[in-house]
Amino acid sequence: MVNRIDTLIEAEARRADKVKQLVTLLRDPDLADFVAKLASGEEPGLPPGRAATAPTWPMASSQEKPTTLRGMIRELQLPAKFTSKDVLESVHGKFHFNGGDPLTMVRSAIYTLSRTGPGQAFRVVKKSVSGSEQVYERIS
């Protein structure tokens, strides 16, 4: 127990020394431009005016196609009234389902997009009866 307390005290002392060194470096006038670039979000090694950006995954920018099934379904040009099979035909070949059942995944996505709330994109026009498909329409 005493060794553990000593270890914690030593670790805190090392940390305090590092913080003092960091504060000294941050206040160093020779590094003022470097610190200002870091604080503004710019990458210090980049040309002026070019801000550092977080790494992005492929197809993640707003100019490109959506990467999620719900995002893709939201962007589809669908008929006025449609079923999950219509959506599956539109998405087929454009989205990789990673071994899952495509129809089930499309139905789940449409269900999520048809729930009332701020993200609602569709609504149910005709509920399924005796195995028939639900019919949806776009509301947003």
Give the helix ranges, DSSP H, for the chain.
2-26, 32-40, 69-75, 84-91, 102-113
Q: What is the pLDDT of residue 44?
A: 65
Q: pTM here?
A: 0.53
| DSSP summary character for residue 47 | P
Q: What is the pLDDT of residue 56?
A: 43
- Do residues 106 and 84 make contact, with C-beta atoms less than 8 angstroms apart? yes
- Return per-residue pLDDT of the chain as tens, 140 residues: 667 788 888 888 888 898 888 888 888 888 788 777 777 777 666 555 555 554 444 444 455 567 788 989 988 899 999 999 999 999 888 888 888 899 999 999 999 999 988 889 999 999 988 888 999 999 97
